[in-house]
Amino acid sequence: MVKVNENYLKLPGSYLFAEIGRRVARFKQENPEANIIRLGIGDVTRPLPDAVINSLHQAVDEMADIKTFRGYGPEQGYEFLIQKVIDYDYKPLGIELGQDEVFISDGAKCDVGNIQEIFGIDNIVAVTDPVYPVYIDTNVMAGRTGDFNETGEFEKIVYLSCNAENNFVPELPKERVDMIYLCYPNNPTGMTLSKDELKKWVDYAKDNKAVILYDSAYEAYIQEKDVLHSIFEIEGAKEVAIEFRSFSKNAGFTGTRCA
């Protein structure tokens, strides 16, 4: 008889954004004239820019020609695209990366959810609080978190409070942790970290042999000069951090996956 993953049953409810969508739809049905300001999932509100549309048309034409048709692409991404990422996203920041250090996927959300699969289940996970739910949900299903308790937290997760009292900047864990999820600019608070603040996390990871899973999906919104666009701008961060990037915010194509 097939059995369900017992860890999946520890999740207190459905995926947060799916539940928000259901509640909004129900409210809209009951209040058809209401003007709803949506603070749920970050989606686009305008059509795709011409550069994207033209490239998509060109790609479709290439698939119709025997000379330019492509089947499955390289598992880690096309070399020309990897090089573009290196040249335009990292070299201007003074960061040197090799072709084998950049991976093209079907989106940062999938990556931040799946990356935990390469780590052992005994690792201790730390997340900022509040937090993007994917970080926690995937670790729950993997079996790293223990049970959901009466305080609304999972027993084995280390929660790093972000509130008005600490200016929404989390303190370093008092205990040793192994996997640290950081998202800056932060989702959902919008807070950023200065270079000195981010360096503290890199130093902590080095001292404790931990890994930082750094979600920089909202990097395009950074305007302050003292806020870094990549954790790899910190010396030695490549030794302890994995960075997740996205084009859905600066290019506006959340519904188009670049894989």
Residue 5 in domain: yes
Give domain status of residue 80, yes or no: no
pLDDT of residue 254: 75
Judge whether 82 lies within some domain: no
Which domain range does residue 222 map to? 1-71+105-259
On whether residue 76 sits in a domain, the answer given is no
Residue 78, in any domain of the structure: no
Compute mean pLDDT per 10 residues along the chain, 259 residues long, and list them: 93 73 88 83 78 92 95 91 96 96 90 96 97 93 92 93 95 96 94 94 98 96 90 97 90 70
Q: Is residue 95 part of a domain?
A: no
What is this structure's pTM? Answer: 0.88
Structural domain includes residue 100? no
What is the per-residue pLDDT for 207?
97
Lookup result for tokens 């972000």: 162
Total residues belonging to the chain = 259
Q: For residue 141, which phi and psi values (nearest 5 degrees)?
A: -65, -25
Residue 195 sits in a domain whose CATH number is 3.40.640.10
Report how many domains make up the chain.
Answer: 1
